[in-house]
Structure 1
Amino acid sequence: MDRKKFVRDICKDNMLLIYGFIQVIFLAVLRKYYLLTVYQTVAAYLFVCLCGVIVLKFVRNKAVQNIYLLMWSSFHGIIILGFLTQGTFYLTLTQINKVQIVNLFLGFLLYWIFYLISGKGQTAVAVGNLVIAVMGITNHYLMRFRGAPFQISDLKAAKTAGNVFLNYDYMPDLYMLFTVIDLFVWYKLIKQEYQKRELKKRQIPDAIVTVAAVFACIPLVNGTYQKIYSETGQFSKDSYLAELLADAEGKTESYPEGYSAENAKKILQDFNSQAPEKQETVSTAKQMPNIVVIMNEAFSDLRVLGEIETDQPFLEYWDSLEENCIKGWANVSVFGGTTANSEYEFLSSDATALYQNPVIPYNNYFEQTDVYQSMVSVLKDQGYETTAFHPYLSSGWNRTQVYRAMQFDHIIFSEDLEQPLDTIRLYTSDEGDYTYIRQYFDQKEKNTPQFFFNVTMQNHSGYTYDGDNFKTTVHLRGDAAGKFPQAEQYLSLIRESDKALKGLLEYFENYEEPVVVVIFGDHQPKLEEEFYSYVTGITRDQWDLTQQRKQYKTPLLIWHNYAAGSENIGDISLNYLAPLLLQDTGLNMSDYQHYVLGQYEEFPVINSVGIVDANGNVHVRGSEEFTERTREMQILVYAHTVEKIW
Structure 2
Amino acid sequence: MKKFFSIIKEKLFTRVEKQHSEAYLRRISFLNKYSLLFHMLISCGIVFIVEVLSRRSFLSAGSFVGMHTGAFFYNAFIVFASLSFVYLFRRRAFWRIIISGFWVLLGIINGCILSNRVTPFGFTDLKCINDLFAMNNTNYFTAEEATIVVIGLGLFLLFCVALFIKGPRYQGKTHKIVVVGAIVSVLFVGLPVTTSAAQNANVVASYFSNIAQGYENYGFIYGFSSSVVDRGMSKPDDYSEQKIASIEKNVNDTKKETTVTKKNAPNIICILLESFCDPDEIKFLNYNQDPIPTFHNLEKNYTSGYLTVPVVGAGTANTEFEVLSGMSMQYFGTGEYPYKTILKKTDCESTAADLASIGYGTHAVHNNGGNFYSRVNAFSMMGFDTFTSKELMNIQSYTPNGSWATDDILVPETIKTLDSTPNQPDFTYTITVGTHGDYPKTPVIANPVYTVSGVDDEEKKNQWTYYINQLNEVDTFMNDLITELSKRDEDTIVVAFGDHLPTMGLEDSDMKSGDIYKTKYVTWNNMGLKKQDADLYAYQLMASITDSTGIHEGTILNYHQTQMNNTDHTAYLDGLDNLQYDILYGNRYCYDGKDKYPATDIVMGIDDVTVSETSDSIGGSEVFVYGNNFTKWSKVFVNDEKVNTTFSNSGCLIIPKDSVKDGDTIKVCQMGSNSTIFRESNTYTYKDPAVEETVTGTESDSNTESTVSESQK
Same fold (TM over 0.5): yes
One of 259, 263, 267 as aligned partner of 1:281: 259
One of 217, 232, 235 as aligned partner of 2:187: 217
1:392 aligns with 2:385: no
How far off its partner does 1:402 sit? 2.2
SS at match of 2:529: coil
Q: Which amino acid aligns with 1:561?
A: N
More off after superposition, 252-261 vs 458-467: 458-467
What does residue range 567-578 of structure 1 map to in structure 2 within 5 Å?
A: 567-569=532-534, 571-578=535-542
Aligned to 1:430: 407
1:340 aligns with 2:283: no
How far off its partner does 1:505 sit? 1.6
Structure 2, unmatched stretches of 5+, are: 1-25, 206-213, 592-713
| CA distance 1:407–1:630, shift in 2 (3 Å) | closer
| CA distance 1:59–1:323, shift in 2 (3 Å) | closer
Q: Which amino acid aligns with 2:133?
A: G
How far off its partner does 1:579 sit? 1.4
One of 618, 626, 637 as aligned partner of 2:580: 637
Distance in 2 separating the partners of 1:557 and 1:113: 55
Aligned to 1:164: 135
Aligned to 2:329: 352
Distance in 1 separating the partners of 2:171 and 2:262: 88
One of 105, 113, 118 as aligned partner of 2:85: 113
| CA distance 1:91–1:592, shift in 2 (3 Å) | closer
1:250 aligns with 2:230: yes
How far off its partner does 1:401 sit? 2.1
| CA distance 1:220–1:463, shift in 2 (3 Å) | farther
Indicate if the aligned counterparts of 1:226 and 1:246 stay in contact, CA closer than 8 A: no
What does residue range 169-208 of structure 1 map to in structure 2 within 5 Å?
A: 170=141, 201-202=171-172
Q: Which amino acid aligns with 2:128?
A: A
| CA distance 1:130–1:304, shift in 2 (3 Å) | same
How far off its partner does 1:288 sit? 1.7
Distance in 2 separating the partners of 1:170 and 1:215: 41
| CA distance 1:141–1:93, shift in 2 (3 Å) | closer
SS at match of 1:156: helix
One of 527, 545, 548 as aligned partner of 1:584: 548
SS at match of 1:423: coil
Indicate if the aligned counterparts of 2:275 and 2:498 stay in contact, CA closer than 8 A: yes
How far off its partner does 1:105 sit? 1.6
How far off its partner does 1:629 sit? 5.7
| CA distance 1:204–1:475, shift in 2 (3 Å) | farther
1:490 aligns with 2:467: yes
Distance in 1 separating the partners of 2:89 and 2:448: 54
| CA distance 1:71–1:203, shift in 2 (3 Å) | farther
How far off its partner does 1:520 sit? 0.5
Q: Which amino acid aligns with 1:553?
A: K
How far off its partner does 1:391 sit? 2.0
What does residue range 461-480 of structure 1 map to in structure 2 within 5 Å?
A: 461-464=437-440, 474-480=450-456
Indicate if the aligned counterparts of 1:380 and 1:386 stay in contact, CA closer than 8 A: yes
How far off its partner does 1:102 sit? 3.1
Indicate if the aligned counterparts of 1:340 and 1:397 stay in contact, CA closer than 8 A: yes
Distance in 1 separating the partners of 2:474 and 2:276: 8
One of 334, 338, 345 as aligned partner of 1:361: 338
Based on CA coordinates, which of the two structures has the bigger radius of gyration? 2
Indicate if the aligned counterparts of 2:547 and 2:561 stay in contact, CA closer than 8 A: no
Aligned to 2:114: 143
SS at match of 1:595: helix
Aligned to 2:639: none
Indicate if the aligned counterparts of 1:305 and 1:551 stay in contact, CA closer than 8 A: no
One of 474, 492, 515 as aligned partner of 1:550: 515
1:154 aligns with 2:125: yes
Distance in 1 separating the partners of 2:250 and 2:565: 18
Indicate if the aligned counterparts of 1:168 and 1:464 stay in contact, CA closer than 8 A: no
Structure 1, unmatched stretches of 5+, are: 1-56, 538-545, 604-612, 614-625
Distance in 1 separating the partners of 2:578 and 2:132: 32
Distance in 2 separating the partners of 1:344 and 1:361: 8
SS at match of 2:452: coil
Aligned to 2:76: 104
Indicate if the aligned counterparts of 1:322 and 1:566 stay in contact, CA closer than 8 A: no
Distance in 1 separating the partners of 2:217 and 2:169: 37
Indicate if the aligned counterparts of 2:339 and 2:378 stay in contact, CA closer than 8 A: yes
CA shift digits 1:582-625 (9 cap, x unpaired): 1111223224322212232237xxxxxxxxx8xxxxxxxxxxxx
| CA distance 1:566–1:199, shift in 2 (3 Å) | closer
Distance in 2 separating the partners of 1:145 and 1:289: 40
How far off its partner does 1:549 sit? 6.0
State the TM-score, normalizing by the size of structure 1: 0.72
Q: Which amino acid aligns with 1:422?
A: S
| CA distance 1:440–1:429, shift in 2 (3 Å) | same
Q: Which amino acid aligns with 2:525?
A: H
How far off its partner does 1:573 sit? 0.6
What does residue range 219-618 of structure 1 map to in structure 2 within 5 Å?
A: 219=189, 225=195, 228-229=198-199, 232-233=204-205, 235-251=215-231, 253-273=233-253, 275=254, 278-283=256-261, 288-321=265-298, 325-355=302-332, 359-369=336-346, 372-417=348-393, 419-424=394-399, 425-441=402-418, 443-446=419-422, 448-464=424-440, 474-480=450-456, 482-484=458-460, 485-527=462-504, 529=505, 532=506, 536=509, 550-569=515-534, 571-602=535-566
Indicate if the aligned counterparts of 1:304 and 1:550 stay in contact, CA closer than 8 A: no
Aligned to 2:50: 81
Distance in 2 separating the partners of 1:466 and 1:91: 33
Q: Which amino acid aligns with 2:556?
A: Y
Q: Which has the higher contact order (CA 8 A, sep 6+)?
A: 1
What's the C-alpha RMSD, in Å, of the aligned pairs? 4.1
Distance in 2 separating the partners of 1:628 and 1:227: 28
Distance in 1 separating the partners of 2:315 and 2:67: 37
Distance in 2 separating the partners of 1:351 and 1:549: 22
Distance in 2 separating the partners of 1:304 and 1:586: 32
How far off its partner does 1:237 sit? 4.3
CA shift digits 1:79-105 (9 cap, x unpaired): 0111222343355689743x5443112
Distance in 1 separating the partners of 2:501 and 2:545: 23
CA shift digits 1:363-400 (9 cap, x unpaired): 22222335x43211221222222111122222122222
Q: Which amino acid aligns with 1:108?
A: F
Q: Percent identity?
A: 20
SS at match of 1:145: coil
Indicate if the aligned counterparts of 1:297 and 1:458 stay in contact, CA closer than 8 A: yes
